[in-house]
Every structure is written in structure tokens, then in C-alpha cells.
């Protein structure tokens, strides 16, 4: 009944298995990849003809984590998986980016890739397994895909690279000082296609070494996919690449001169309008049949690409007049918004980010429900890209994949320089509003976020800057690496290479390659050129602010205190009664974690101190020999009971009340009276013994022995 094919290899510490032919047999390609006990099923389907008039390649990648994979029931009211989580969206992008450039040029049939996590052993991350499964499913489906690709995760511990570190090592990199890198690399047999990373100030050489290591380690996986395809691949789909005929020649003859003049305009909006006018002029010369040719859009792109790329390779200026290494003019400003906790406006050429920092308490931490368990995040970064930023009219909705991906890239770039939670116990939320865009807005977000946090008083270890690099690579091997690329250079170029970091090293690197054949030499030059650009940008940023500024008067103040874990129950009280009383009485917010760390937050310093004192009186132990202020709660024949430390009472024996004989404590004391007492010690049963006669009741100071003797006489 089944024509099952299964192939396995030993990969690192685990066995990697690919199997097909048993499940989802109606899909064009279906593969279940298993690493350890983590299994992901990838299914590929594609339309056998493009939609009429389609002028782009409609590839859609979905990645789904099913809670049953880890033996969990989803949270919420509906108890089923709903909209994609941030992790699912980012993983879908991770798979899409290296696969998309490998489809045959001109293929515009709709392709759907669906990856479903079926089992998760809580050791092996499913994202790499999903990428391998998707590549294998595409390779055997018959779709014109020039793969296969494979992926690998690389860690860096004590100077050594680690293949596919365990989930626990990578979940919260900031809390694991030994692990300095989380890098995912994807590529073909001969070339690296994609890199995504988060690092702790690694050098350019260390990052390049990690990329090379990952590419080497994925080679057995590529061989395994080819082995599977040789046994189970479907016949190749009969696809004929589009034939331009004389269409491109006509477009070039009619529009090259006007298009070249349009690309010479430095202002983005004027250049865009001129390019649009050039297109319209070309269309006016074409026949109706040529206007309906689905390859017309590709012909225009080919012409635009040849103009932009040819001029740069020939050594000419870029479209905005710069040379290959110059960064556009930068203006950095901080403290723009009066009521926010921190704000900045970072402008680089025609790209601008308005970034706002908000400081919150432990209540504001994000609770993340993941397959490997729930955890909290106290650092949030949200990126918004409205249509007006590029002068367009468009629909505004919930954040899309691009917004989530760009925000996460900036998050990765900044996490390495954040202060430890014990030193700065705030939840930090950054919001980047992209107000103009022509070139990397994600790197502008990195720069603006660094400035906004310093403006808010966040003690960063060092400022972070980012720069986007581009590449023009011709068939004859000639190439040009470009610093701080424009939108058109990204669109018509061969590489989008983003590098962020401090003056000491790289904190994040993201690379997307649109062509095969990027050599280590090209990557090395791009990293070196990016370092120069980063240093220049850091210098420009320092003109506005260099370190943490004054704390905003509108931000909450947070004090922390550590209590013994066996005292947590006493502070909380039965049903939360005690902690509610502390909050209501003091007016401060109080958060307690399982380790006994208490955060007390309020904009009012007196409220924080009051809450602190109330908690201290519950958890602290009274010290023998110390003087306390207390209140008489009960008088008896043999002495007075005094409440002197929180809810603790002690006995002042009648002989310890004064330096003279008393018939009854009521001779000097009455209930409710405030008195100063010294803790003399504890009796055999643990009862507290207090004394008053050795303490000056007015000053609270202990009376010298000579003074006591004089009083007695």
C-alpha cells in the first residue's frame, strides 16, 4: 500500500532521518524529518500553471508548532492553536529566505510549503529540522527548485564552535554567559544562502568562522537529501523559462536613455516618479500584444538592473552620488517627546526611525507560551512600517511578517548590551516608528533604539549601531560591495547583508543571498567594510548622547530586595492577604519571584520605602543588643508586653522598666504608649526579653552605666 523510502545519517550527536511515501501522499512532495525525537513534516504543493497576468513568484511558507508535539494543551479559552506566534512567523521566514532565490528564474506558479512540528524532544530545536524537511520535500516534488539546501545552528563556547546546541542552551542566551552565539546558516552544496544570528560582541573573524563551520557541517545533510531524491523524486515539472524574444530589446531601445537619466536623480521621490514616467513612455511604444505579455515586468526589471549594476561595476557613482563605502549623512537626536521615558529620532539619508522607550515593572513582562515551556521576557521591541514612510497609500493592519522579522533583528542586535535584571530590574519596551524609508530601516531601528534607551537612563554596556551592506556580482566574477545600501540597490542587487554591533564586536548578523557563488573572500570584505561603516555611525550617534542620561520623572522607580525563600509565604500571606495590605498601605507595586527577589515599584520614593519597611519587618530577625521603638500592647503584674518589630512582641519585666522599684508597670506605662526598648535576648523557650531602663526614652540612646547608677541613687 505504501511506497515508503527512508534514509538516515549520524549528524552531530543525533540521528537524522528523512522519510517519504507513507503520509500525505497527495501532496506533490511530503517528507518527515526527525532529529533525535524532534519530528517535522513538510508538505509541498504547487500550481501547474501561473495565474493570468501574474508578474511575481507567489511562494508561501507556513511553519506550525502543534502543542501535542510536546505533550501540552494550548492555553487560552479555545484550547487550540490560533494565529501564528512570533516564533512560528520567524521560522517561516527563516525557511523562505534561502529557498526563494533557488527557484528557476521566471517560474511564477503558486507554491505552498507547510511545515508542521509533530514531536518535540525539548532538546533539538525544530526550526532547523523544518528547514531540512522543507528542502527535501521541494527537492522530491518535481517543482523547478535548484536546491537542495540544508541548515545548521552554530553555538560558540570557550572559543569552539558547537553544532546544533540544545534548546536549553539557546532559549535565553542573555542568561547563559558561556554561550556567546546563536547562529543559523543555510546554504547549498557550494554557497551560503542565508545567515541569522544573535551574538555577544564576537569579532568579524569569529563570525565568519561560524558561518564557514555551519556550511561545512550541513554538507552530509545535503548529500542525504540527494540520496532520498534519487530514490523517491517525482519527474521534473515541464517548465519552460520565459522567452523574451525581442521584447527586452524593444524595451531597452525605447527606454534606456530616459531610464538612465531617471536613475541619475538623487532624490528618492523624484527618481521614483521619473522611473515611472520612463516606463509609461516605453509602454506607449509597444503593441497591445506586447503590453499583455506577462514578461513585460521582468523586462523592465532587467533593464533597470543592468543600468544600476553596470554603472557601479564600471566604477561609477551610485544612484545617489556616493562611492561604495560612504555612509549617508546622519542626524541623531534624543529627548524629543516630553512625557515618554526616553525617545530618539535617528535619520540616515532618507531613512528615519522615531524610537520610544517605556520602562515598566515585572507586571509588564511578556509571558511566552512555547513548546519547551513558559518563560518571561523583560525586553520587548516592536517595529512599525506605515505606508506613509515610503510615500504610499496602503492598508494598515496588524503587524505582518516583515514587521515581526525586522523587529526581531533589532532585538537580537541589542540584547547583548542590556544590563542584568538584578542591576536594572525594569521591563524595557521599545517601539520603532519608521517615518521615512529608503534603505535599511531595521538598522535605523537598532541605532535609534540604542539612543532612546540611553535617553531613558538604561545603563547599556555600550551603544549599538547597525549598517546594511549590498553586493553587485556579475557573471564574469567582477563584484562591488556597497555600504549603507538604498532600497533600489537592495531590490536590484545580489545581497542584503546587515551587521550590527558595538565598537568591540558584532551582536547580530543577517545575510540574504539572491545568487549562488558568494565566496568567503566576498563575505570577509563585506564584514570589514561593515565594521568601518559601523564605527562611523557610532561616532555620529555619540554627538547626541554617549551614556545613560537622567532617569525620567515619569518613569517608575524600582527597588529590589532579597528575602529567604522560606519567608515568601509570610510576605504573601494567606490568600495574598499580607501583600495586598502592603500594596494598599504603601501605594507601591510589589512583585515577588520564586527565588525570593522582591521588586518594589512606584514613582513615589516614600511609597517604596514604606513598602520596603513593611516587608523587612516581616522577614528580618530582630538583633540582640539593638534598640527598637515599640508600642505597649498589654500590661500585667510582672511587666509589659511591647510590640517592637513587625508583629513581634516581647516582655519588659517590671524590674527592667525603670531604675527604681515599681509596685506595678502601670505606675509608669499605659497601653498604646510608644517606648524605646533594647533587645536583651531570648529565654530558654525562645521568648523575647526586652529592657527599658537602659534606654533614654527621649533620644533612644543607650544610657551609660554611670548614669544608670546616678539615677538609681
CATH number at residue 670: 2.40.50.140
Is residue 319 in some structural domain? no
Nearest alpha-carbon partner for 156 in 82, 222, 207 = 207
Assess whether 562 and 639 both reside in one domain.
no
Give yes or no for a contact between 324 and 481, defined as CB atoms under 8 angstroms apart.
yes
Is residue 583 in some structural domain? yes
Assess whether 608 and 578 both reside in one domain.
yes
Assess whether 75 and 189 both reside in one domain.
yes
457 HSE (CA, 13 A, CB side): 17
Average pLDDT over residues 416-434: 93
d(CA 331, CA 339): 22
Q: What is the pLDDT of residue 330?
A: 97
Reported as a pLDDT band with limits 50, 70 and 90, residue 706 is: low
Percent of the chain with pLDDT over 90: 57
Number of domains in the chain: 5
Q: What is the pLDDT of residue 708?
A: 52
d(CA 642, CA 692): 10
Assess whether 613 and 652 both reside in one domain.
no
189: cell is 552544496
Say which range, 52-66, 291-305, 406-420, 483-497, has the weakest mean pLDDT. Answer: 291-305
Is residue 510 in some structural domain? yes
Assess whether 537 and 587 both reside in one domain.
no
Average pLDDT over residues 374-403: 91
Assess whether 278 and 171 both reside in one domain.
no
Average pLDDT over residues 349-363: 93
Of 572, 600, 619, the residue at which a domain comes to its end is 619
Q: What is the pLDDT of residue 406?
A: 96
278-302 pLDDT, tens digit per residue, is 999 989 898 888 887 777 888 888 8
Reported as a pLDDT band with limits 50, 70 and 90, residue 173 is: low
Q: What is the pLDDT of residue 545?
A: 93
Give yes or no for a contact between 129 and 34, defined as CB atoms under 8 angstroms apart.
yes
Assess whether 611 and 640 both reside in one domain.
no
Is residue 547 in some structural domain? no
Assess whether 518 and 667 both reside in one domain.
no
Assess whether 263 and 154 both reside in one domain.
no
Average pLDDT over residues 182-194: 93
Q: What is the pLDDT of residue 645?
A: 81
Nearest alpha-carbon partner for 16 in 113, 187, 106, 132 = 132
Q: What is the pLDDT of residue 11?
A: 96
Residue 598's beta-bridge partner residues? Answer: 561, 592
Assess whether 287 and 362 both reside in one domain.
no
Average pLDDT over residues 366-371: 86
Give yes or no for a contact between 585 and 615, defined as CB atoms under 8 angstroms apart.
no
Is residue 241 in some structural domain? no
Residue 689's beta-bridge partner residues? Answer: 651, 681
Assess whether 270 and 396 both reside in one domain.
no
Q: Is the pLDDT at 272 greater than 90, yes or no?
A: no
Number of other CB atoms surrounding residue 188 within 10 Å: 21
Is residue 78 in some structural domain? yes
CA 194 to chain centre: 18
Look at the chain and count its residues: 713
Average pLDDT over residues 498-517: 91
Domain with 82, as residue range(s), is 5-232
Q: What is the pLDDT of residue 9?
A: 97
Average pLDDT over residues 393-409: 92
Is residue 546 in some structural domain? no
Average pLDDT over residues 80-87: 90
Q: What pTM value is reported for the model?
A: 0.85
105: cell is 528564474
Identify the CATH number of the domain in which residue 567 sits: 3.30.1370.10
Of 594, 619, 644, the residue at which a domain comes to its end is 619
Q: What is the pLDDT of residue 315?
A: 73
Reported as a pLDDT band with limits 50, 70 and 90, residue 705 is: low
Reported as a pLDDT band with limits 50, 70 and 90, residue 175 is: low
Largest CA distance in the chain: 125
Q: What is the pLDDT of residue 176?
A: 66
Q: Is the pLDDT at 366 greater than 70, yes or no?
A: yes
Is residue 62 in some structural domain? yes
Nearest alpha-carbon partner for 358 in 338, 335, 341 = 341
Residue 40's beta-bridge partner residues? Answer: 33, 117
Assess whether 471 and 369 both reside in one domain.
yes
In sequence order, what E strands does 29-98 have? 29-35, 38-46, 59-65
Q: Is the pLDDT at 25 greater than 60, yes or no?
A: yes
Amino acid at each position: 500500500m505504501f511506497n515508503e523510502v527512508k534514509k538516515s545519517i549520524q549528524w552531530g550527536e543525533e540521528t537524522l532521518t528523512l522519510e517519504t511515501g507513507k503520509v500525505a501522499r497527495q501532496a506533490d512532495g511530503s517528507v518527515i524529518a526527525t532529529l533525535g525525537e524532534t519530528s517535522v513534516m513538510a508538505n509541498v504543493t504547487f500550481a501547474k500553471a501561473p495565474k493570468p497576468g501574474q508578474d511575481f513568484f507567489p511562494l508561501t511558507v507556513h511553519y506550525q508548532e502543534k502543542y501535542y508535539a510536546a505533550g501540552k494543551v494550548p492555553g487560552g479559552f479555545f484550547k487550540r492553536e490560533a494565529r501564528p506566534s512570533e516564533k512560528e512567523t520567524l521560522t517561516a521566514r527563516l525557511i523562505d529566505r534561502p529557498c526563494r532565490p533557488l527557484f528557476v528564474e521566471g517560474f511564477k506558479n503558486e507554491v505552498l510549503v507547510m511545515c508542521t512540528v509533530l514531536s518535540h524532544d525539548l532538546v533539538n530545536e525544530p526550526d532547523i529540522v523544518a528547514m531540512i524537511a522543507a528542502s527535501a520535500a521541494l527537492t522530491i516534488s518535481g517543482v523547478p527548485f535548484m536546491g537542495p539546501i540544508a541548515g545548521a545552528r552554530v553555538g560558540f563556547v570557550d572559543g569552539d564552535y558547537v553544532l546544533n546546541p540544545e534548546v536549553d542552551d539557546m532559549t535565553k542566551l542573555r542568561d547563559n554567559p558561556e554561550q556567546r552565539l546563536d547562529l543559523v546558516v543555510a546554504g547549498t552544496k557550494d554557497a551560503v544562502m542565508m545567515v541569522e544570528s544573535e551574538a555577544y560582541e564576537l569579532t568579524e573573524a569569529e563570525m565568519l568562522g561560524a558561518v564557514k563551520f555551519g556550511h561545512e557541517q550541513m554538507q552530509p545533510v545535503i548529500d542525504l537529501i540527494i540520496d532520498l531524491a534519487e530514490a523517491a523524486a517525482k519527474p521534473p515539472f515541464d517548465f519552460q523559462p520565459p522567452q523574451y524574444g525581442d521584447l527586452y530589446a524593444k524595451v531597452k531601445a525605447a527606454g534606456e536613455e530616459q531610464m538612465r537619466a531617471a536613475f541619475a536623480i538623487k532624490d528618492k521621490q523624484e527618481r521614483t516618479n521619473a522611473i515611472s514616467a520612463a516606463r509609461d513612455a516605453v509602454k506607449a511604444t509597444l503593441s497591445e500584444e506586447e503590453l499583455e505579455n506577462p514578461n513585460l515586468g521582468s523586462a523592465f526589471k532587467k533593464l533597470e538592473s543592468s543600468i544600476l549594476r553596470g554603472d557601479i561595476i564600471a566604477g561609477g557613482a551610485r544612484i545617489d552620488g556616493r562611492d561604495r563605502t560612504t555612509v549617508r549623512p546622519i542626524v541623531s537626536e534624543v529627548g524629543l517627546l516630553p512625557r515618554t521615558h526616553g525617545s530618539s529620532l535617528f535619520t540616515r539619508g532618507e531613512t528615519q526611525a522615531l524610537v520610544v522607550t517605556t520602562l515598566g515593572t515585572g507586571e509588564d513582562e511578556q509571558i511566552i507560551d512555547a513548546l519547551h515551556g513558559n518563560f518571561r521576557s523583560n525586553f520587548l521591541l516592536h517595529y512599525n512600517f506605515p505606508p506613509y514612510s515610503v510615500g504610499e497609500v496602503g492598508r494598515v493592519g496588524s503587524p505582518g511578517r516583515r514587521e515581526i522579522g525586522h523587529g526581531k533583528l533589532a532585538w537580537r542586535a541589542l540584547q547583548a548590551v542590556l544590563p542584568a535584571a538584578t542591576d536594572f530590574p525594569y521591563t524595557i519596551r521599545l517601539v520603532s516608528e519608521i517615518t521615512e524609508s529608503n534603505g535599511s530601516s531595521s538598522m535605523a531601528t537598532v541605532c535609534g533604539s540604542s539612543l532612546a534607551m540611553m535617553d531613558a537612563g538604561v545603563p547599556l554596556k555600550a551603544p549599538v549601531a547597525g549598517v546594511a551592506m549590498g553586493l553587485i556580482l556579475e557573471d564574469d566574477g567582477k563584484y562591488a560591495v556597497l555600504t549603507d545600501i538604498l532600497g533600489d540597490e537592495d531590490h536590484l542587487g545580489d545581497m542584503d547583508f546587515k551587521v550590527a554591533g558595538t565598537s568591540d564586536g558584532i551582536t547580530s548578523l543577517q545575510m540574504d543571498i539572491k545568487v549562488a557563488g558568494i565566496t568567503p573572500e566576498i563575505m570577509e570584505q563585506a564584514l570589514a567594510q561593515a565594521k568601518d561603516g559601523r564605527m562611523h555611525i557610532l561616532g555620529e550617534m555619540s554627538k547626541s548622547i554617549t551614556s545613560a542620561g537622567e532617569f525620567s520623572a515619569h518613569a517608575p522607580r524600582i527597588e529590589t530586595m532579597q528575602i529567604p525563600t522560606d519567608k515568601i509565604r509570610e510576605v504573601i500571606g494567606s490568600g495574598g492577604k499580607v501583600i495586598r495590605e502592603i500594596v494598599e498601605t504603601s501605594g507601591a507595586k510589589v512583585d515577588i519571584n520564586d527565588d525570593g527577589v522582591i521588586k518594589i515599584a512606584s514613582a513615589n520614593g516614600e511609597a517604596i520605602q514604606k513598602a520596603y519597611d513593611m516587608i523587612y519587618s516581616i522577614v528580618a530577625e530582630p538583633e540582640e543588643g539593638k534598640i527598637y521603638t515599640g508600642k505597649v500592647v498589654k500590661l500585667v503584674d510582672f511587666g509589659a508586653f511591647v510590640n517592637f518589630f513587625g508583629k513581634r512582641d516581647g516582655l519588659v519585666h517590671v524590674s527592667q522598666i525603670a531604675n527604681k522599684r515599681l509596685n506595678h508597670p502601670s505606675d509608669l506605662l499605659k497601653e498604646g504608649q510608644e517606648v524605646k526598648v533594647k533587645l536583651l535576648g531570648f529565654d530558654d523557650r525562645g521568648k523575647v526579653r526586652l529592657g527599658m531602663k537602659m534606654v533614654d526614652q527621649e533620644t533612644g540612646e543607650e544610657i551609660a552605666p554611670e548614669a544608670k547608677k546616678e539615677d538609681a541613687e
